[in-house]
Amino acid sequence: MSNELELRYGMNPHQKPARVYVNEGALPIQVLNGQPGFINLLDALNSWQLVRELKQSLGLPAAASFKHVSPAGTAVAVPLNETLRQAYFVGETELSPLATAYARARGADRISSFGDWAALSDVVDVPTAEMLKREVSDGVIAPGYEPAALEILRQKKGGGYRVIQVDADYEPPAIEERQVFGVRMAQQRNTAVPTIADFTEIVTQNKTLPDAAKRDMVVALITLKYTQSNSVCYAYDGQIIGVGAGQQSRIHCTRLAGSKADTWFLRQHPRVLALPFREKLGRPVRDNSIDQFLLEQLTPAEEIIWQQNFTELPTRLTAAEKRDWLDQWHGVTLGSDAFFPFRDSIDRAQQSGVSFVAQPGGSLRDEDVITACDEYGMVMATTSLRLFHH
């Protein structure tokens, strides 16, 4: 491996020259196919850390689907039920544990994952390569690739699919640096890795925290560690189901992530699963059509285009039907990268089936937030660990 890699350009095509390098030793990455760009590498290096830490903390294969330096979805290898197989367009496809993790990560928010960067904690096998081959994706990073899997990926995008192998044993220096406007800043690297052991400080009246909720809290907090702040996410069944990234207000994070979680639940509604799509309609078009189906109203022009995707016109779900469906779901975990300053996020989260909350605590209004959780029978654990990421 060399200590430098020339890039096509920086964040935008006019930002040339561009390169990635280390001052000492060799780069911990090797490009096996394609030519990654500046943003590709930001996604790759952040997403690799996320899946590595999920695997380290939970001992399960992990995957992430990244877009613009934040995860659209992350997951560990929890088997898919038949409903999720249908909602994720997996069908009867053979899934290894690693492929299952990626199917979940990609399925969290399929609209946002269009053109994603994938990160995988384990050596990529053929079932995972087949999953990647069929999705619109820019590239992948993993600690290794089976020869047959690598050959599959090298054929993607006319041979231009970006494939990066990372040194799984590489540890970066303790001090990390950044330059902004010619000014250098340095700080100790964030080495805190959330684990199940972090959830002993339960501050609510309800203190029953199942193992599945502890797992989902770990998934949520490690995801937040690599999400642009402010950030909030909802986790369920071993995966993220909604991310609210980079908002200036925590309630706006909670609303954004909650709306994505609601969409994830609604994609499993029988009427959505039974939508009469035209034959050979691609998955991205189906994803967009489902998203539009769940909107309250389309413009006349959008409606005409949307109708062309079906063999017969489906009847939209009413607001009451949506609410009835969402009210059936419970056991969701809400994670936050910093404390909740008001109870409003808890009130919003309750509408999306949240039963468990993990957050640092430390707000002047912690008691108000705890009271809100108690009113809804939620379990909240405080970690005293802020996880801002910029």
SS (H, E, C) 46-73: HHHHHHHHHHHHHCCCEEEEEECCEEEE
- 109 within 8 A of 266, measured Cβ to Cβ: no
Q: Token pair 């005293």 is at which residue?
A: 384
How big is the CA angle at 123 (ends 117 and 129), to the nearest 5 degrees? 55
Helix (H, G, I), strand (E, B) or coil at 148: helix
- 270 within 8 A of 315, measured Cβ to Cβ: no
- Is residue 230 part of the annotated active site? The answer reads yes
- 277 within 8 A of 309, measured Cβ to Cβ: yes
Supply the DSSP string of 73-104, one letter for each residue: EEEE-----HHHHHHTT-TT----HHHHHHHH
- Is residue 14 part of the annotated active site? The answer reads no
- Is residue 68 part of the annotated active site? The answer reads yes
For residue 117 the two structure tokens come to 């960067």
- 134 within 8 A of 110, measured Cβ to Cβ: no
Which of these is catalytic: 230, 260, 269, 309?
230
Please provide the size of the chain in residues. 390
89-99 per-residue burial string, b: 16 or more CB within 10 A, e: under 16: bbeeeebbbbb
Helices marked H in 108-186: 126-134, 147-154
- Is residue 133 part of the annotated active site? The answer reads no
Which of these is catalytic: 68, 157, 252, 322?
68
Cα 224 to chain centroid distance, Å, stands at 9
- 16 within 8 A of 145, measured Cβ to Cβ: no
The backbone torsions φ and ψ at residue 352, rounded to the nearest 5 degrees and listed phi first, read: -115, 25
Task: Enumerate helices (H) and strands (E) in the chain, giving the number of each.
Answer: 13, 15
Count of CA atoms in the C-beta half-sphere (13 A) of 374: 10
Which of these is catalytic: 14, 23, 280, 390?
390
Which of these is catalytic: 33, 46, 67, 269?
67
Q: Which residues are catalytic?
A: 67-68, 230, 390
